[in-house]
A and B are shown apart, each in its own frame.
Chain A
Amino acid sequence: GAVVSQHPSWVICKSGTSVKIECRSLDFQATTMFWYRQFPKQSLMLMATSNEGSKATYEQGVEKDKFLINHASLTLSTLTVTSAHPEDSSFYICSASYGGGSPLHFGNGTRLTVT
């Protein structure tokens, strides 16, 4: 089955620093990847849609200057949390699909803690 790899699985950083999270589709090409954020005991909230070779589409309320998304190839999308603050601490998870009605396959997520 389709595999999506996300790295790192957890990261602790100091307030004010930036953190990059990678999302790779290992055995298929994903023209579109999605980035979600999940707070404890809550559902997944879509942050942005990442399109290969073009600008990401951000959901309302998500700061695009804070959460930089780059989809440089058909198998790699990155999310950079810039100038992280404690309120950015969360579980970030990416997903990708072949398109159409195929299921989204998720990475294992990244647990970010900002101290």
Chain B
Amino acid sequence: AQKITQTQPGMFVQEKEAVTLDCTYDTSDPSYGLFWYKQPSSGEMIFLIYQGSYDQQNATEGRYSLNFQKARKSANLFISASQLGDSAMYFCAMREALNSGYSTLTFGKGTMLLVSP
């Protein structure tokens, strides 16, 4: 079973509008972290936002907020007031076993966001 599922291969939004990118995850580990990364066409991976499994409040970073629904195992990314520079591939990722010292990220397949003028 996939650990991270992003069901939207592509999303279109007009500039200044808000958009939500979906992400669901699967884990039996009580300690995990959820991440969103942005990858523009240049290839670099840009960290956007992080949500820990024990965090009570939804994470926010500027125009980005993470809608964490623990019971539903979803971690959707909300982008308010889209900008042209937001056009990129967006990856949801999960890190399990946080107490083990280190663990890698498992990525979803990504959602391509295109922002039009």
A interface residues with partner B (beta carbon < 8 Å): 31-32, 34, 42-44, 46, 49, 91, 93, 95, 97, 99-101, 103-109, 111
Known: A46-B104, A108-B43, A109-B43. A101 touches B98 (CB 8 A): yes
Which of B30-71 touch A at CB < 8 Å? 33, 35, 37, 42-45, 47, 50, 52
Cβ-closest chain A residue relative to B32: A101
Closest chain B CB from A109 CB (angstroms): 4
Chain B positions within 8 Å of A105 at CB level: 47
Chain A positions within 8 Å of B47 at CB level: 103-106
The distance in angstroms between the C-alpha atoms of A29 and B45, with both chains bound, is: 20
The distance in angstroms between the C-alpha atoms of A31 and B37, with both chains bound, is: 22
Cβ-closest chain B residue relative to A91: B43
Known: A93-B45, A105-B47, A108-B44. A44 touches B91 (CB 8 A): yes
Closest chain B CB from A21 CB (angstroms): 13
**Interface status of B105 (Cβ within 8 A of chain A):** yes
Cβ-closest chain B residue relative to A32: B102
Chain A positions within 8 Å of B44 at CB level: 106-109
The distance in angstroms between the C-alpha atoms of A105 and B42, with both chains bound, is: 16
Chain B positions within 8 Å of A100 at CB level: 98-99, 101-102
Q: Which of A32, A49, A106, A111 lies in contact with B45, CB distance below 8 A? A: A106
The distance in angstroms between the C-alpha atoms of A108 and B102, with both chains bound, is: 22
The distance in angstroms between the C-alpha atoms of A107 and B43, with both chains bound, is: 10
Closest chain B CB from A62 CB (angstroms): 13
Stretch at the interface among B17-25, B79-87, B106-114: B106-114
Counting chain B CB atoms within 10 Å of each CB, the highest count among A101, A103, A105 belongs to A101
Chain B positions within 8 Å of A34 at CB level: 104-105
Sampled A-B contacts (24; CB under 8 Å): A34-B104, A42-B109, A43-B91, A43-B109, A44-B105, A46-B106, A49-B104, A93-B45, A100-B99, A100-B102, A101-B50, A101-B52, A101-B95, A103-B35, A103-B47, A104-B95, A104-B104, A104-B105, A106-B45, A106-B47, A107-B44, A108-B43, A109-B45, A111-B43
